[in-house]
Structure 1
Amino acid sequence: MNTLQASLPKLSIKYNSRLQNGRSKEPRFVEYRDSQRTLVKTSIQESGAFLPPHIREETYRMQSKPLGICLIIDCIGNDTKYLQETFTSLGYHIQLFLFPKSHDITQIVRRYASMAQHQDYDSFACVLVSLGGSQSMMGRDQVHSGFSLDHVKNMFTGDTCPSLRGKPKLFFIQNYESLGSQLEDSSLEVDGPSIKNVDSKPLQPRHCTTHPEADIFWSLCTADVSHLEKPSSSSSVYLQKLSQQLKQGRRRPLVDLHVELMDKVYAWNSGVSSKEKYSLSLQHTLRKKLILAPT
C-alpha cells in the first residue's frame, strides 16, 4: 500500500478491509485513482500486508517445464521479437500469431482456452497487442468495434478452463485507441454473452472452493493510435519497460514489479504531450505470491 502511494502521487484510496484471519473470503479490490483519472485495481485478499507475523504467505508453484504456454496475439508487429525473447527466457512455450483477422482471434483464444495440456503446466500467459479501445481489440481487418477483452478473460476462468483452475493466468495488453473505439460500448454486448458455453458440452459441477475468477492478473495499457505513425517511437513504452522488469526482476513478486512499472510509465507521462501518454491499469485476483522464477 505504501509503495503504491509513493509511486502514484495524489491518489484517493477506497478499499474493503473486512478480512478474516488476515485473508478475505472473496476477491476484493483496492482502487487507486490519480489526478488524470487513471484507475488501478489490485486485489488485497492475500497481499500479505494484513497477515499476522507468524503466518507465512503462500507462493504459487512455478516448477513445470515449461512454466506454461505464452499466447502472443500481435496485430501491430512492432514488439514481437523481444516479447518472444522475454517470455522464452522466463520459461514459457511461445505460441505466436501475427496479424490475425478478428474472426481468427476468436478461434485462437477459444482453442487455447480448451487445451487439456494446461493441466501439465503451472501457469498461463497471454500478450495481446492491437488497435481497439479500453474494452476491445481488433484484428488486422478492423471489423466492427472489435473483440471484447472481457470475452478473452472469461474464457480462462475456473469454470470455462478447469485445467487452469487454481493456477495463475497472466494477461498483458497493449491497445492503441482508434477513432471508432468510443462507439464500442453499444456493440460489444454481442461478443460477451455467457462464455460458459464456449464448449458445446455442459460443464460438470466441480467440488472446489477456489472462486472461478481467482488467480487472474490483468495488466491493461492503452495509448493513442498516433504512436504508430512515428517510426522512431512506434515501439510500446509499456511493453519495453514490462519486458525489462520481467527479465531483471523475475525472482521478485510480480505485483511488486508491476508497481515499479507503473511508476516508470507515470514518469514517462510527466514529460510528454497528452497524445503521447500511456494509461496503465492493473486488476488481479491472485490468492498467493507470484514469482515467475522457478521455486
Structure 2
Amino acid sequence: MCTLHRTCLLRRLQNGRSKEQRLIVEQLDTQKPVKTSVQESGAFLPQHIPEQRYKMQSKPLGICLIIDCIGNDTGILRDTFTSLGYEVQSFLYLSVDDIRQNLKKVACMPQHQDYDSFVCVLVSRGDSQSVFGVDPTHSGFPLDQIRRMFMADSCPSLLGKPKLFFIQNYVVSESQLEDSSVLEVDGPVVNHVESRARPPEPCTLHREADFLWSLCRANVSLLERPTSSPSVYLQCLSQKLWQERRRPILELHIDLHRYVYDWNSTVSAKERYSVCLQHTLRKKLIFFCK
C-alpha cells in the first residue's frame, strides 16, 4: 500500500472517532516492524546440556555387603560384584543382632570417602516390613532402619554417591506368625550411628538422595521344598549385571521386572515373586563406564 493511500485511509478512520480512539490508531501507525533473523533467534534456544552420570571410577568402586541368611545365592552374587570392581564382604546365616551389628560397622567405615558407591544385598526370611535373620523366633529388624543407617546424616562419607540395595525377602505368612511375637528394633541403634557420624558442614543434598531400593518378596514356602532353589530375582539380577553392565541400572531393572513378570505367568501363586523399585537417583548410573 502506497504512503498517500495509507494516509487517506487513516484520516477516514479517524473521522467519527473519539480523541482517545484516534490516539490509539496513530500509535499503531508509528510502530515499526521488528526484524529478526533466524540466526539471532536461534541464539536464545537452550544449549545442549551434557547428560550427568555418577562418577564410577574409584578402585574399588565401593564396598558390596552381602548378607545371606538363606545360603542359596552368595556364590554368584560375590562373583558378580567382584567382577564389577567392588570389595565384597559376605556373611552367611546371621541373626537379627548380627545383621544390625554388621550394617552398623559398614555404615561407619571411613573407606567410603575414597569410594564412588555402595551396594548392599540382603537375603532373609521376614514379614512385609522386617527381616528375621536365622533367629528361631520371628524377631524382625525393620527394613526402613537399614536404609536410614546409610542416609546422609548417618553416613556423610556416602553423601552424593549412589547407594544400592537389593533385598530378597521370603515372607512368612501371618498365620505362621501367630505363635511368635514380632520384636522390632527401633530408634536407639540408629541414633547411636547418627551421633558418631555428623556431617562436618550443612548438607546441601536431601538425606535420602541417591538411593536405589529394590525389594523382592516371595512366599517362604519356596524354601520349604526338599531342594531349595536360588532366587529367580537375584539370579536374573546377576545375569543382567554380568552381561549388560554398560547399560544404566534403571534400564536393567526394567528388564528384570519383565523377566519376573514372565516367570510369574508360568507358575502357581505361591511360586511368584513381587518386585518393588524405589529410587532417588539424580544421575544416570552405569557400572562400567570405560
Normalising to structure 2: TM-score of the pair?
0.78
Q: CA deviation at 1:239?
A: 0.5
Matched, 1:109 2:107: no
- AA aligned to 1:72 is I
2:48 pairs, out of 40, 46, 54, with 54
Q: Secondary structure at the match of 2:78?
A: helix
CA distance in 1, matches of 2:126, 2:102: 18
| Residue aligned with 2:202, SS | coil
2:283 & 2:61 partners in 1: Cα distance? 17
Flag the 1:270–1:182 CA change in 2: closer, same or farther, 3 A.
farther
Structure 2 gaps of 5+ residues are 1-45
Matches of 2:204 and 2:115, distance apart in 1: 21
- Distance, in Å, in 1 between the alignment partners of 2:238 and 2:136 is 27
CA drift of 1:163 comes to 0.4
Q: CA RMSD in A?
A: 2.2
* Counterpart check, 1:131 vs 2:125: yes
* Structure 1 position 178, deviation (Å): 1.3
2:75 aligned with 1:81: yes
1:198 to 179, 190, 193: 193
Residue type of the partner of 1:148? P
Aligned to 1:120: 114
Q: Which residue of the other structure, out of 135, 146, 153, is the alignment partner of 2:140?
A: 146
Aligned-partner Cα distance in 2 for 1:146–1:189: 5
Name the residue aligned to 2:270.
275
**CA distance in 2 between partners of 1:221 and 1:80 (Å):** 16
Once the two structures are superposed, what CA deviation does each residue of 1:160-210 show, in whole Å capped at 9, x if it has no partner? 000000000000000101135877xx9566425683432444725623321
1:92 equivalent among 86, 94, 112: 86
- Whether contact under 8 Å (1:133, 1:222) holds in the other structure is no
**CA distance, structure 1, for counterparts of residue 204 and residue 195 of structure 2:** 25
Report the counterpart of residue 229 of structure 2 in structure 1.
234
Task: Choose which of 150, 155, 175 in structure 2 pairs with 1:156.
Answer: 150
Match of 1:290 among 277, 285, 289: 285
CA–CA separation in structure 2 for the residues paired with 1:204 and 1:258: 32
Conserved 8 A contact 1:227-1:233: yes
Output one character per residue of 1:19-69: Cα deviation in whole Å (capped at 9) or x when no partner.
xxxxxxxxxxxxxxxxxxxxxxxxxxxxxxxxx782222000000111000
Cα distance in 2 between the residues matched to 1:163 and 1:204: 8
Checking the alignment, whether the CA contact within 8 Å between 1:73 and 1:127 is kept in structure 2 is yes
Task: Write the distance in 2 (CA, Å) between the matches of 1:288 and 1:188.
Answer: 38
Larger Rg: 2
Alpha-carbon contact 1:158-1:211 (below 8 Å) kept: yes
The CA distance in 1 between the partners of 2:183 and 2:147, in whole Å, is: 14
CA pair 106-275 structure 1, distance change in 2 beyond 3 A: same
Any unmatched runs of 5+ in structure 1? 1-51
Taking the aligned partners of 1:60 and 1:216, their CA distance within structure 2 comes to 12
For these two proteins, the number of residue pairs brought into alignment is 242
Structure showing the higher strand proportion among its residues = 1
Residues 131 and 141, structure 2, Cα contact 8 Å, conserved in 1: yes
TM-score between the two structures when normalised by the length of structure 1: 0.76
SS in 2 for 1:156: coil
Maintained 8 Å contact 1:148/1:188: no
Q: Aligned partners of 1:192 and 1:263: how far apart in 2?
A: 37
Please tell me whether the aligned partners of residues 155 and 197 of structure 2 are also in contact (alpha carbons under 8 angstroms). Answer: no
CA pair 150-218 structure 1, distance change in 2 beyond 3 A: same
Aligned to 1:275, the other structure's residue is in SS state helix
